[in-house]
Amino acid sequence: MVDLSVKIGDITLQNPVQPASGAFSWEYNDVIDLNRLGALVAKTICREPRLGNPTPRMAETEAGIIQSIGLPGKGIDYFIAHIVPEYAKFTPPLVVSVSSETIEDFAALAEELSVPDVDVIEANISCPTRNSTGGNFAMHEDYTRDCIKAIRAKTKKPLWVKLSPNAGDIVSIAKAAEAAGADALVIANTFLSLKIRTDNFRPALGNKFGGLVSPALKPIVLRMVYQVAKQVKIPIIGIGGVTKAEDVVEYMLAGASAVGIGYAGFRNPTALISIIDDLAAWCDERGITKVTELIGAVRDQDMETDTLAAASVGV
């Protein structure tokens, strides 16, 4: 029997597989047993009720889908009164994702969301279709530090910070978040993208820009997780392109303690369950008794490379 449990700060997850915020709701209970997931991650909530962006909200591209939803929701009061109790019916920890356009409101929201049934606050400072001074604080080191510091001062709940892959230097931003009091880092949100239709010359999405969601993101985000893991001490949740158990293994080898999954659950509604089962089988076949053995276990110090091959082509 493989021990799949992992710790993210003080929170223990029964396995390292959780849904990504925005790609999940308790309504998936219709098709999978939510009690088997590592954590439950609610859609990002804002203070005000929001309708979201104009349709179409999704378009297919050659290498994945782009989507721009616009954080629709019924606002924080409805969320605490009606949505949190829906999640409380299940056993895994509840991660509540939150977003705001100002630092003061962000902190106030985090405080108001610090109710008993909420286990973790995930600060979504990286919604790709918001600008860097109006919610997408993760584009900039200073904004990230100021925002996370303010949230930290208002909540004792574990605080996870979701970073942007669209920032130039994600390592500096990750370090800023850690210094400001983050308990874990979620790497990363979606990649800002655009599709233009050649039949009518118009952007394919109602909001023009969208975030790219695709297995194609995995090598890029994996690189970010690897780089950040070398520079911070807090745990990392890797999100980007996970479609199978080996992808979870890869993220953990790079230094992640857990993964979030979006696209795979859209494609195969039962994918998260398959991935958890397959991860246990993968470990079992290799005599790995604790999945935590994989965290940061990448063999980057004893690589076998042929230096002569490089020399022969003149590098």
Partner 1 sequence: MTLDPNHNYSNAALRIGDVDRYPRRRVGEFIGIVASNAGVNDEYRHIVVKVHEQALKAYAGQMFHLLCPSPDGAEVWMRRPMSVYRVDKAAGAVEFLYKIEGRGTRGMGKLQPGDEFNIAGPLGAGFKLEPAWKNIVVLGRGVGLATLAPLSQLAAEQGVGVTAILSARHQGVVMSKALFEELGARTVTVLDSDGTSAVENVERVIEELIAARKADAFFTCGSNRLLKLTQRLGKKHNIPGQVAMEQIMVCGFGACYVCMRTFEVDGKRVLRRVCREGPVFNMQEAVGW
Residues from 133 through 152 that contact partner 1 (CB under 8 A): none
Instruction: Give 74 or 149: the residue with its C-beta nearer to partner 1.
Output: 74
Residue bearing tokens 């110090």: 301
User: Which residue's CB is nearer to partner 1, number 41 or number 294?
Assistant: 41
Q: Residue 60, interface with partner 1 (CB under 8 A)?
A: yes
Among 5, 9, 72, 292, binds partner 1 (CB under 8 A): 72
Given 37, 39, 65, 294, the residue binding partner 1 (CB under 8 A): 65
Cβ 20 to partner 1, closest distance in Å? Answer: 11
Total number of residues shown for the chain: 315
Q: What backbone torsions phi and psi does residue 29 show, to the nearest 5 degrees?
A: -55, -25
The minimum distance between CB 66 and partner 1, in angstroms, equals 10
Token pair recorded at residue 175: 């370090």
Q: Which of 63, 143, 150, 72 is nearest to 108 (CA)?
A: 150
265 binds partner 1 (CB under 8 A): yes
289's CB contacts (< 8 A; 6+ apart) are 2, 3, 283
Q: Which of 5, 207, 227, 270 binds partner 1 (CB under 8 A)?
A: 270
The yes or no reply on residue 285 touching partner 1 (CB under 8 A) is no
Which residue is associated with the tokens 């606050």?
121
- Count of CA atoms in the C-beta half-sphere (13 A) of 110: 30
Q: Which is nearer to partner 1, 67 or 126 (by Cβ)?
A: 67
Task: Tell me: does residue 220 bind partner 1 (CB under 8 A).
Answer: no
Q: 288, 290, 238: which is closest to 17 by C-alpha?
A: 238
46 belongs to the catalytic site = no
Q: Judged by CB under 8 A, which stretch of 56-64, 103-111, 219-227, 298-306 contacts partner 1?
A: 56-64
- Residue of 60, 169, 43 lying closest to 98 (CA atoms): 43
**Residue 86 contacts partner 1 per CB under 8 A:** no
Residue choice 1, 51, 308, 309 for contact with partner 1 (CB under 8 A): 51
| 113 near partner 1, rule: CB under 8 A | no
| Site for partner 1 contains 207 (CB under 8 A) | no
Minimum CB separation of residue 268 from partner 1 in Å reads 5
Size of the site for partner 1 (CB under 8 A): 48
State yes or no: residue 215 binds partner 1 (CB under 8 A): yes
Question: Helix 218-229 crosses helix 170-179 at what angle (to 10 degrees)?
Answer: 50
Beta strands in the chain (DSSP E): 6-8, 11-13, 17-19, 40-41, 58-61, 64-67, 94-98, 120-124, 159-162, 184-187, 191-194, 209-213, 236-239, 258-261
Q: Which residues contact 32 (CB under 8 A, 6 or more apart)?
A: 269, 270, 272, 273
Catalytic residues: 127
The residues that touch partner 1, with contacts defined as CB under 8 A, are 22-25, 27-33, 43, 51-52, 55-65, 67, 69, 72, 214-216, 243-245, 263-271, 273-275, 277-278
